[in-house]
């Protein structure tokens, strides 16, 4: 990631190509920047956000890749400083991506919107329990997460069933695990297991992709288990 980021640092100063090409370069530039382990974590995230802000109007864009990247940056900011506001910002971008259509990005922004809603609900419920009160927003967030996951299943199930007949390829991996996570989040565990097995059988998937999937599913399981046990 480091050398890719350095190369794109140079390309970004050359005003290369037309607007669409420059925006695509900016998306890749932002991605490799926030993942560059040789930069400090806060610095990497701020640089990536600045790159996207220069290429897009983040307040109005409906470009789902940009919305997904921006949501991921704010989610990582939360992972660093546990500032709930960063999760709220992540949700804003992921939710706008969901509103642009599950079918247009195979549910990537949608599944993250659902996850962040559940995560915020968990945080708010824990805060309420600490003061012997109840959260007025936690259940609304959980209801929204359920609706989003239901929409993902509605859109992706027939689409991926068709691909299954033709054989799933490496570029199908994220769609398959997105569907698996949507099923898992709705406690449709048999369906989730089926799609995860299919994902595991897809060839040429990187280890980091498996680890990313496992991390999010484990976190979701922890959140939902805590709710049941509380």
Average pLDDT estimate for 110-119: 98
| pTM metric for this prediction | 0.90
The whole-number pLDDT of residue 165 equals 59
> Higher model confidence: residue 139 or residue 161?
139
Average pLDDT estimate for 26-40: 87
pLDDT over 90 (residue 131): no
Vertex 194: Cα angle to 191 and 197 (nearest 5): 150
H/E segment holding residue 5: helix 2-12
* pLDDT tens digits, 60-94: 999 999 999 999 999 999 999 999 999 999 999 99
Alpha carbons 214 and 221: distance in angstroms, whole number: 10
Average pLDDT estimate for 106-129: 95
Residues in the chain: 230
Among the ranges given (7-21, 25-39, 44-58, 75-89), the one the predictor scored with the smallest mean pLDDT: 7-21
Alpha carbons 145 and 98: distance in angstroms, whole number: 11
Six token digits for residue 76: 């990582």
Q: How confident is the model at residue 162 (pLDDT cuts 50, 70, 90)?
A: confident
Alpha carbons 88 and 74: distance in angstroms, whole number: 9
Alpha carbons 68 and 87: distance in angstroms, whole number: 13
Residue spans of the domains in the chain: they are 1-93, 101-230
Average pLDDT estimate for 119-148: 90
The whole-number pLDDT of residue 1 equals 58
Average pLDDT estimate for 203-230: 86
């Amino acid at each position: 990631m480091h050398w890719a980021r350095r190369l794109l640092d140079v390309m970004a100063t050359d005003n290369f190509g037309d607007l669409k090409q420059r925006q695509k370069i900016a998306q890749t530039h932002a991605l490799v920047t926030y993942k560059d382990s040789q930069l400090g974590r806060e610095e990497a995230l701020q640089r990536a956000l600045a790159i996207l802000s220069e290429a897009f109007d983040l307040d109005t864009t409906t470009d789902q890749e940009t919305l997904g990247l921006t949501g991921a940056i704010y989610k990582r900011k939360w992972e660093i400083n546990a500032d709930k506001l960063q999760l709220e910002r992540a949700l804003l971008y992921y939710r706008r991506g969901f509103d642009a259509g599950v079918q247009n990005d195979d549910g990537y922004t949608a599944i993250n919107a659902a996850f962040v809603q559940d995560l915020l609900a968990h945080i708010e419920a824990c805060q309420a329990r600490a003061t012997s009160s109840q959260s007025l927003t936690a259940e609304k967030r959980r209801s929204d997460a359920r609706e989003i996951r239901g929409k993902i299943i509605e859109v992706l199930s027939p689409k991926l069933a068709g691909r299954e007949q033709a054989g799933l390829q490496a570029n199908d991996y994220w769609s398959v695990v997105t569907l698996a996570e949507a099923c898992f989040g709705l406690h449709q565990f048999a369906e989730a297991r089926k799609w995860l097995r299919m994902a595991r059988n897809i060839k040429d998937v990187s280890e980091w992709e498996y680890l990313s999937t496992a991390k999010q599913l484990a976190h979701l399981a922890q959140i939902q288990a805590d709710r049941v046990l509380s």
